[in-house]
């Protein structure tokens, strides 16, 4: 797979280009098909469909790490175009007119989009085929692990055959350095921190966060080290650092992703 559709940082994992919002990954599964992990903003659907056509394998499932629109905006369009089932955490779903759909949400770290949502038309509902409540295999070779806290139904996905985890906003990668979501960006920060510690005991060597560059090795040890750290108190220094990271985060998800960004291959510089 070559630009402009995607790059393949790990054999069997494609990191899509041309999308906006969260990182979007296509994952090869042992059955011969692929899974899509997250979908970015709604206008990412053409890039996703082009990439799937280029990869040339059947899409067997759309895996959503959590309900925020920068991760789920194109899910309804991609599901409609491909017929692939949507899989999400039960805590992020609800019944609407007798069918299961994803709860619509915008992260608290997207203040401008949160404000704009009050005057914009609500997006099309995302039909959910499977709402995950407990750890389970959701597609051949792929396990869903509930990691609530950022949202009630947040999930991480482990592809055991690839030694890789797809973790949404469980952590954010700033140039390969793992950081946590801001306290106020989480639905339940105490449960979020607990989820990091729990998932660190399961994490494989390669990690693919929803924002920032993947870590191809050392993700498990980096996550364990992060889990052991307490929240730092708010000081002028930490406030400035967090403001810089939030600005970098905002600029990153607003632009369309281009290929050939650096991928962190180890813990060493």
Please give the average per-residue pLDDT across 64-77, as a whole number. 96
Residue 197 has pLDDT above 90, yes or no: yes
Do the Cβ atoms of 66 and 50 come closer than 8 Å? no
State the helix-helix crossing angle for 45-55 and 75-82, rounded to 10 degrees: 40
Asked if 2 and 15 count as a contact pair (C-beta separation under 8 A), the reply is no
State pLDDT tens for residues 85-140: 999 999 999 999 899 999 987 665 555 444 444 445 567 899 999 999 999 999 99
Tokens of 238: 């930490």
Token pair, residue 200, equals 């660190």
Q: Rounded distance, CA 248 to CA 174, Å?
A: 9
Residue with tokens 């949400």: 105
Which of 218, 96, 222, 205 lies closest to 158 in space, CA to CA? 205
Model confidence at 190, pLDDT cuts 50, 70, 90, reads: very high
What gap in Å lies between CA 163 and CA 75, rounded to an integer?
A: 25
Ranges 122-131, 173-182, 235-244: which has the least confidence: 235-244
Report the pLDDT averaged over residues 73-83.
97
Asked if 49 and 78 count as a contact pair (C-beta separation under 8 A), the reply is yes
Phi and psi dihedrals of 43, rounded to 5? -80, 10
Query: Which residue bears the tokens 């280009």?
Result: 17
Question: HEC string of the chain?
Answer: CCCCCEEEEECCEEEECCCCCCCCEEEECCCCCEEEECCCCHHHHHHHHHHHHHHCCCEEEEECCCCEHHHHCCHHHHHHHHCCCEEEEHHHEEEECCEEEECCECCCCCHHHHHHCCCCCCCCCCECCEEECCCEEEECCEEEEECCCCCCCCEEEEECCCCEEEEECCCEEECCEEECCCHHHCCCHHHHHHHHHHHHCCCCCEEEECCCCCECCCHHHHHHHHHCCCCCCCCHHHHHHHHHHHHHHHHHHHCCCCCCCCCECCCCC
Tokens 């350095």 belong to residue? 177
Query: What dotted CATH number matches 6-254?
Result: 3.60.15.10
Q: Percent of the chain beyond pLDDT 70?
A: 82
Delimit the domains of the chain by residue range: 6-254
Ramachandran region, residue 222 (left: φ > 0; alpha: ψ -120 to 50; beta: rest):
alpha
């Amino acid at each position: 797979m070559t630009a402009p559709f995607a790059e393949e940082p790990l054999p069997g994992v494609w990191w899509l280009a041309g999308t906006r919002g969260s990182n979007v990954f296509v994952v090869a599964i042992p059955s011969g098909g692929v899974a899509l992990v997250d979908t970015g903003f709604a206008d990412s659907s053409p890039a996703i469909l082009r990439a799937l056509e280029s990869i040339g394998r059947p899409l067997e499932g759309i895996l959503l790490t959590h309900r925020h629109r920068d991760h789920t905006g194109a899910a309804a369009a991609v599901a409609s175009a491909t017929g692939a089932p949507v899989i999400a955490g039960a805590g992020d779903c609800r019944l609407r007119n007798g069918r299961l759909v994803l709860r619509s949400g915008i992260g608290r770290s997207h203040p401008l989009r949160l404000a704009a949502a009050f005057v914009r038309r609500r997006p099309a509902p995302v039909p959910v085929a499977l709402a995950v409540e407990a750890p389970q295999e959701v597609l051949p070779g792929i396990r869903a692990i509930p990691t609530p806290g950022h949202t009630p139904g947040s999930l991480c996905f482990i592809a055991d055959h690839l030694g890789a985890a797809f973790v949404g906003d469980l952590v954010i990668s700033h140039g390969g350095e793992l950081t946590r979501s801001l306290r106020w960006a989480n639905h339940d920060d105490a449960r979020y921190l607990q989820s990091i510690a729990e998932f660190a005991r399961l994490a494989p060597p390669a990690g693919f966060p929803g924002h920032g560059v993947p870590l191809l090795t050392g993700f498990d040890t980096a996550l364990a080290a992060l889990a052991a750290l307490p929240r730092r108190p708010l000081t002028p220094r930490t406030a400035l650092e967090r403001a810089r990271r939030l600005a970098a985060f905002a600029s990153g998800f607003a632009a369309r992703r281009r290929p050939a960004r650096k991928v962190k291959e180890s813990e060493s510089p």
